[in-house]
Structure 1
């Protein structure tokens, strides 16, 4: 809270070079937290998509992982649409053709 209102801080926005394992991510998280004088033990939960790396991070930290709802929704919709993939591909091809300048009305 800041001045009576909710606020959020971006802790870090830096690409990770090299390995993308859970251990590499944990090292990166620890290094970012150390910049602010904080420790990994202060992490109480983890919010991210439901990939295996993030699940492993949450397990290693022994904290709950709150998966992204939109990610879960996207996975569910894709599962339903699998049965209609041929029709979707045909419609996509048609739409691409209709966008061509010589097909414009």
Structure 2
């Protein structure tokens, strides 16, 4: 948190002026949200991926068979 607060003045900004922060590392994003005491929105792509994986669980056998068939040709 301190690093961000020290970095922002180079751009004439303060942490109080931040409406949101964007990051590409889940662990860092969670830690930063905890330090700032704000909610973490999270990554929509990651949530979609988890939902699709859960949806496809009943079809794993068929999907494995299709994948094996595609590898043979």
Q: CA deviation at 1:88?
A: 1.9
Distance 1:61 1:95, change over 3 A: same
Q: CA deviation at 1:47?
A: 4.8
Greater fraction of residues in strand? 1
Task: State yes or no: 1:73 paired with 2:48.
Answer: yes
Does the 8 A contact of 1:33 with 1:40 survive in 2? yes
Partner of 2:31: 56
CA RMSD of aligned residues (A): 3.1
Q: Which runs of 5+ in 2 are unaligned?
A: none
Q: State TM-score, norm by structure 2.
A: 0.60
Q: State TM-score, norm by structure 1.
A: 0.47
Number of residue pairs the alignment of both structures matches: 72
Does the 8 A contact of 1:45 with 1:65 survive in 2? no
Q: Which runs of 5+ in 1 are unaligned?
A: 1-22, 99-105
